[in-house]
Amino acid sequence: MSAPFARSSASIATPPRIHDTRRERLPRGARPRRDVAPTSWAKSESANPTTTKTTRLPAPTVHPASVPTRAHLIRGGAASSAAASSGESSPLGVHALVWTGGWSAADANDACARTAAAGYDIIEIPLLNPRAVDVEMTRNALGTHGLRVATSLGLSFDADVSSDDASCVARGNALLDEALDVSVGIGATHMCGILYSALGKYPRRATSRGYRNAVAAIKRLAKRAAERSDVALGLEVVNRYETNLLNTATQAMAFLNDVDEPNVVIHLDTYHMNIEERSLEAAVLECGDRLGYVHVGESDRGALGSGNVDFDSLFRGLARVHYRGPITFESFSGDVVSPDLSDVLCIWRNPWGFEQRDELASDARSFVLGMMDKHGLR
């Protein structure tokens, strides 16, 4: 990242247990109490959103796939039925911003060491500034610790491929190309995030021209990616305050159909789904075998299981579509993330402290594995 890291990386040590920065952990399967009344905008979408029953939709058609092992990482849903029948389960990842706000050699090696020590398979590296990532150094760090890698980014308003301004679109395309070059160079399986618009609050709806520009940009990028590697492009569906284009799984499916490239998949994130989707399970079923990447994040960006995200609903859906793609833990704290990126991500408070990173990540992995076991995903 271009901004300096707020704190220098420290050697791996046994961290203190997390107590004061998160709510009491609930027994697995229990739902937290909801004492806060739903907000007015939630009421406009559902008469009683806190008690709405999950709609059990028909399971999507599953088409048998004859794909190599790496391909089941690219498209994680029904197309991974071969992987499911062979007993393979989803690889688990953690976002690098759990560990560090920078990507110097020291930061990279520390983050990779902590990722491996916590038992994860994948580290997700942010590429908001692709030029700040040293490809050779990163490959060495990944290889030393035996990790796979994914990348992610969001565009800025002056490099927005969903803009009506051709020069702005061109800058966005150039940034996406730089990010793809780095992703291919470090051996990423996925390049995910808000690749189709700026990351931020828009003052109005997307225009028809802006939508067409975004579709064209992703289609162009997908063709370029396919010519160079088997990296998949994951379009992250985020809440209305971070884009005006893809806020729901339904919108993402329509966009994907317009792009019509096989190496473009949907990237769902529970933090955003908890705001925009009426049912996490139904959203997963909507995507079916087009779902290729999943972020698990809590409603307050803190410890998994401490907020109000309905993870049972998510994992029921993943089981029904036979999902075997990556599941990556994402959590942010201003104690780690650099000040400029904290502003972009609206991190106005710290759900956990710098010295609590190791326990946070370890607990998240245990939580996800517990959900996978509960719903027959491994």
pLDDT one-digit tens code per residue, 176-226: 999 999 999 999 999 999 999 999 999 999 999 999 999 999 999 999 999
Among 41-50, 211-220, 225-234, the least confident range: 41-50
pLDDT computed for residue 338 by the predictor: 77
pLDDT computed for residue 341 by the predictor: 77
Residue 6 burial by Cβ neighbours in a 10 Å radius (0-12, 13-18, 19+):
middle
Report for 28-32, 66-70, 85-89, 343-347: range of highest mean pLDDT? 343-347
Measured distance CA(291)–CA(323) in Å, rounded? 8
Positions marked catalytic:
236, 330
Residue type, 288: G
Measured distance CA(252)–CA(317) in Å, rounded? 17
pLDDT for residue 314 is more than 60:
yes
**Predicted model pTM:** 0.80
Find where tokens 């609050």 sit.
201
3-state secondary structure of 300: coil
Q: Which residues share a beta bridge with 368?
A: none
Among 69-78, 103-112, 277-286, 320-329, the least confident range: 69-78
> H or E stretch including 4?
none
Among 61-65, 86-90, 253-257, the least confident range: 61-65
Angle between helices 105-117 and 135-145 (to 10 degrees): 30
Domain spans of the chain? Answer: 92-375
Find where tokens 């729901």 sit.
248
Any idea which fold 92-375 has? TIM Barrel (3.20.20)
